[in-house]
Amino acid sequence: MKKFIKYTGVVIPINRDNIDTDAIIPKQFLKSVDKSGFGDNLFDAWRYEDQGEPGADCSNRPLNKEFVLNRKPYRDGSFLLARENFGCGSSREHAVWALRDFGIRTVIAASFADIFHNNCFKNGVLPIALPLADIEWLFARDDEQGAFSMEIDLERQALTSEDGNVYRFEIDEFKKHCLLEGLDDIGLTLQHEPDISAYEARRAKEAPWLFPDLQL
Amino acid sequence: MTGKTLYDKLWNQHLVREADGGDALIYIDRQLLHEVTSPQAFAGLRDAKRVPRRLAANLAVADHNVPTTDRSAGIDDPIARLQVETLDRNCAEFGITEFNMTDPRQGIVHVVGPEQGVTQPGMTIVCGDSHTATHGALGALAFGIGTSEVEHVLATQCLMARKMKNMRIVLNGALAEGMASKDMILRVIGEIGTSGGTGYTIEFAGSAVENASMEARMTLCNMAIEAGARAGIIAVDQKTVDYLRGRPYSPSGDHFDLAVKAWRELVSDPDAVFDAEHVIDVTDLRPQVTWGTSPEMVASVDDVIPDPADAPDEGKREGWSRALEYMALEPGTQIGSIEVDKVFIGACTNGRIEDLRAAASIARGRRVAPNIKQALVVPGSGLVKKQAEDEGLDRIFIDAGFEWREPGCSMCLAMNADRLEPGERCAATSNRNFEGRQGYGGRTHLVSPVMAAAAAVAGHFADPNKL
């Protein structure tokens, strides 16, 4: 996983509650056996006027010009701004892969669905929950004064808008460390191999029916 | 010392390493795999030159992409075919048990798990699918994970996780004739909202849950995720034990008796404290129908479509307006007057034998209304299908004008050929009514199997007791 570095980018506002993973990446694109190549189909049903098919070239598809991802300067944005319960629905990690492939490294919302929130950290994408009042203010900022950019400094746990407003956010120390260092979770867990084996040995005695394969 | 909730007990039993500032490490007893969210996990294993830690802890079955029509010629769609074949290949290469597309036991992973006894009380169960919550009905801690975590579990048999808070939803009272657990869970989601359970594990309790069958309990837990909770759980009782007895993967002999002794402990202590609790009386519950593009947008069949002007806040007002526009519905419309184009009976929510029996009780001796373009019945597994056929349910459906299909996820998420066309309206027994969920531009109303069958024969939503 790539290290999460300090960067500045344009904020893409999608002023909706309950943006589900079916909207982020519709199911037909889940047929892929790869982990990348989903960026062109991010928000496919909202972004294009026609129905997208997996593997099709998106460069000539009719665009929904109203949709924020098709407008300058948002289409080059790297922050996504939404309201409550972002990423609800299906567990598909493809939703995070699509955001990441498009170039979005930070999602700012009033709240997140749990599975999506978890999936973000596995892919170097940072989900930031801010109080609803701040979220409202950021939407109003975009609405009234046009597109703006932000800087994310994960080390300091601070988002700074181009007009100098600073938003502090909370993050689990361990997850922060993993993002900053680009660490592989599996490698970390395997360091605890003795604990896992000890658990299995103890549990297989307590509950042998769960470990028919480990019975001697 | 205060008592423990069922969730506390399940969590403690699986703790490999306490959290030291970050996540805890918990042991996973069972992983269920399917073709859509596993290929990248297997590829990751291979890239890192790792192997699954415990083969016997895994079971794979293809369900999302499989056709529900004749399978003898394979899958037409080359991309879907590649995905299903990739699962076959990965399972063969690594040595994981798979029920492939032509296996009589094949079906939706969340129907197959309990049916085979692969799902057992006291287990931690994961799958790269959010409806893994279903398995909590058997007193297991079961939740959906992403593909990176699928790979993590394959490699380590563990997950990094943070303990959730405890929520109890108490459902009291006796359901009226024609009501189902689907109506209860839709009512719950309508009350607490789709993020009401975020950050919690929900335990369903109360007399209506105690009186519910195991299959009805699975429907409740299945949609815990639509209330925002990754896991829904229900205490073990005699019904749970009876359900498990004699299933192919259930413990047998001495191990069964030993297991039952441990399973009996899987209830919340009387003095356990929950972080949140909701109590709902279901005595007067009426058939529920969703009208919008989020499962929380739900009303009873006797109600009218609500007016966004009456929404509790600005965010909801905009959400309701957008949903009604997408659904092509006007405020004030009688829900019972809404005509549908298609009917879908099936999915991990309502594709079990009791669901089919309930739907068949409405279909029996009636005909699908002329305005219905298609009414699909898709059993949740090959064994559910066989059981239904042994009981003659297939004939009832076919005689009434329904199509009787092969098992799979089908039109719940429309990855295969079963889907809505733009603008079509569907009465569906599945779990999500999101925009485009059942097909691009499709409009989904979530209902119980009885209501879906009633909509099929009436041509519109209708009180199943007054057909």
Q: In what order do the strands lie in the sheet with B98-99?
A: B98-99, B58-61, B30-33, B124-127, B141-144
Tell me the angle at which helices B214-222 and B109-116 cross, rounded to the nearest 10 degrees: 140
pLDDT at A215: 64
- Give CA–CA dist B333/B316, Å, rounded: 19
Encode chain A in three state secondary structure.
CCCCCCEEEEEEECCCCCCEHHHHCCHHHHHCCCCCCCHHHCCHHHHECCCCCCCCCCCCCCECCCCHHHCCCHHHCCEEECCCCECECCCCCHHHHHHHHHCCCEEEECCECHHHHHHHHCCCCEEEECCHHHHHHHHHHHHHHCCCEEEEECCCCEEEECCCCEEECCCCHHHHHHHHHCCCHHHHHHCCHHHHHHHHHHHHHHCHHHCHHHCC
- Give CA–CA dist B385/B388, Å, rounded: 5
Chain A residues near residue B434 by CB distance under 8 angstroms: 20, 22-23, 89
**pLDDT average per 10 residues of sequence, chain A (216 residues):** 94 97 96 94 97 92 97 97 97 98 98 97 97 96 97 98 96 93 92 97 96 77
Residue B336 has pLDDT above 80, yes or no: yes
**Tokens 């209708």 sit at which residue?**
B462
Give residues with Cβ within 8 angstroms of A151, minimum separation 6: A6, A7, A8, A159, A160
Chain A residues near residue B255 by CB distance under 8 angstroms: 208-209
Give the H or E element holding residue B127: strand B124-127
Domains of chain A: 7-171 (3.20.19.10), 184-216 (no CATH)
How many Cβ atoms are within 10 Å of B81's Cβ, its own excluded? 15
Chain B residues near residue A207 by CB distance under 8 angstroms: 122, 258-259, 262
- Using a CB–CB cutoff of 8 Å, tell me whether B162 touches chain A: yes
pLDDT at B22: 73
Tally of CA atoms within 13 A in the half-sphere of B123 that contains its CB: 33
- Using a CB–CB cutoff of 8 Å, tell me whether B145 touches chain A: yes
Phi, psi of B327 (to 5 degrees): -80, -5
Minimal-distance CA residue of chain B relative to A207: B259
The residue count of chain A comes to 216
Antiparallel, parallel or unpaired: β B200-205 and B231-233: parallel
Nearest chain A CA: its distance from B152 CA (Å): 6
Higher pLDDT, B1 or B345: B345
pLDDT at B72: 86
- Give CA–CA dist B385/B353, Å, rounded: 8
Query: CA-based Rg of chain B, rounded to a whole angstrom?
Result: 21
pLDDT at B182: 98
Which of A124, A146, A127 shows the shortest CA–CA distance to A11?
A: A146
Nearest chain B CA: its distance from A180 CA (Å): 15
- Using a CB–CB cutoff of 8 Å, tell me whether B52 touches chain A: no
- Give CA–CA dist A41/A26, Å, rounded: 8
Q: Which two tokens stand for residue B69?
A: 């029509």
Antiparallel, parallel or unpaired: β B276-281 and A79-81: unpaired
A87 alpha carbon, distance to own chain's centre: 8
pLDDT at B177: 94
B27 and A119: CB-CB below 8 Å? Answer: no
Residue B438 carries which DSSP code?
Answer: T
pLDDT in tens, B231-282: 999 999 999 999 999 999 999 999 999 999 999 999 999 999 999 999 999 9
CB within 8 Å of chain A, chain B residues 429-458:
432, 434-437, 440-441
Residue B2 confidence class, pLDDT cut points 50, 70, 90: confident
H-type alpha helices, B48-101: 78-94
Distance spanning both ends of chain A, measured CA to CA: 39
- Give CA–CA dist B433/B298, Å, rounded: 11
Q: Give the closest of A51, A115, A195 to B145, CB-based.
A: A115
How many Cβ atoms are within 10 Å of A3's Cβ, its own excluded? 12
Antiparallel, parallel or unpaired: β B24-27 and B15-17: antiparallel
Nearest chain A CA: its distance from B330 CA (Å): 21
Which of A103, A113, A97 shows the shortest CA–CA distance to A79?
A: A103
Q: What angle do CA B405, B407, B408 make, to 5 degrees?
A: 115
Residue A45 CA: distances (Å) to CA of A26, A64, A213, B283, B422: 7, 9, 47, 41, 12
pLDDT in tens, B33-65: 999 999 999 999 999 999 999 999 999 999 999
Average pLDDT over residues B450-458: 98
pTM of the model: 0.97
Q: Give the closest of B16, B230, B434 to A199, CB-based.
A: B16
Q: Do B228 and A113 touch, CB atoms closer than 8 A? A: yes
Give residues with Cβ within 8 angstroms of A205, minimum separation 6: none
pLDDT at B315: 87
H-type alpha helices, B328-422: 347-350, 353-363, 382-390, 393-400
* Cross-strand pairs, A159: A152, A167
pLDDT in tens, B141-187: 999 999 999 999 999 999 999 999 999 999 999 999 999 999 999 99
Chain A residues near residue B194 by CB distance under 8 angstroms: 18, 85, 88
B22 alpha carbon, distance to own chain's centre: 31
- Longest distance between any two alpha carbons in chain A, whole Å: 70
pLDDT at B73: 86
A33 and B436: CB-CB below 8 Å? Answer: no
**Sign of the C-alpha dihedral, residues B429, B196, B310, A24?**
negative
- Give CA–CA dist B455/B463, Å, rounded: 9
* Cross-strand pairs, B80: none
A22 and B435: CB-CB below 8 Å? Answer: yes
Chain B residues near residue A112 by CB distance under 8 angstroms: 198
pLDDT at A2: 87
- Using a CB–CB cutoff of 8 Å, tell me whether A122 touches chain B: yes
For all residues of chain B together, what is the average pLDDT?
97
- Using a CB–CB cutoff of 8 Å, tell me whether A190 touches chain B: yes
Residue B204 carries which DSSP code?
Answer: E
Chain B residues near residue A209 by CB distance under 8 angstroms: 120, 251, 255-256, 258-259
pLDDT in tens, B192-239: 999 999 999 999 999 999 999 999 999 999 999 999 999 999 999 999
Minimal-distance CA residue of chain A relative to B257: A209
A17 alpha carbon, distance to own chain's centre: 16
Average pLDDT over residues B21-42: 95
DSSP B1-42: --B--HHHHHHHHTEEE--SSS-EEEE-SEEEE-TTTSHHHH
The residue count of chain B comes to 467
- Give CA–CA dist B73/B67, Å, rounded: 10
pLDDT in tens, A4-16: 999 999 999 999 9
Average pLDDT over residues B414-427: 96
Residue B11 has pLDDT above 60, yes or no: yes
Mutate: best of B46, B134, B194, partner A, most A CBs <10 A: B194
Chain B residues near residue A175 by CB distance under 8 angstroms: 22-23
